[in-house]
Amino acid sequence: MTDEQLAPDRFAPAANTEQGGLILPLVISMSILVALALTLTWLNIERTKLAYRARVLQNDMARIVDLNAKLSIEREHLLSPYELRKKAERMRLGPAQPGQIRRMQGS
């Protein structure tokens, strides 16, 4: 036998337990990395959806506040003495004559 036959092949894969021991932690690390990346992406999408919903709600709130202010002004206008007097004249209402008002005793 020659020296080449007895010498182990330098290029043949060795049955090294260290290589097998490194593959499992590498696979676990990569799996954790992928899971973290997916979680981060999902959180970013949820944050974007929440920001959009918050913007919609703020716009709705501003619209409702504006409508409330307009309706308050309209109510004050309709309850003004001038408007009430015009409505009373259209309905032919006026001040009560003496004897038209009756007071009832509370029970």
Tokens matching residue 24: 């499992």
Q: Are 83 and 77 in contact (CB under 8 A)?
A: yes
DSSP reduced 3-state for 103: coil
pLDDT, tens digit, 9 for 90 and up, residues 25-36? 999 999 999 999
> Per-residue confidence at 99, pLDDT binned at 50, 70, 90?
confident
Residue 98: count other Cβ atoms within 10 Å of its Cβ: 5
pLDDT reading at 8 higher than 90? no
pTM value is 0.54
- What pLDDT does 103 receive? 85
- Indicate the range of 13-22, 56-65, 73-82, 85-94 predicted with least confidence: 13-22
Q: Nearest-5° angle of CA 63, CA 64, CA 65?
A: 90
Q: Are 88 and 94 in contact (CB under 8 A)?
A: yes
pLDDT, tens digit, 9 for 90 and up, residues 34-67? 999 999 999 999 999 999 999 999 999 999 999 9
Type and span of the H or E element at 13: none
- What pLDDT does 102 receive? 86
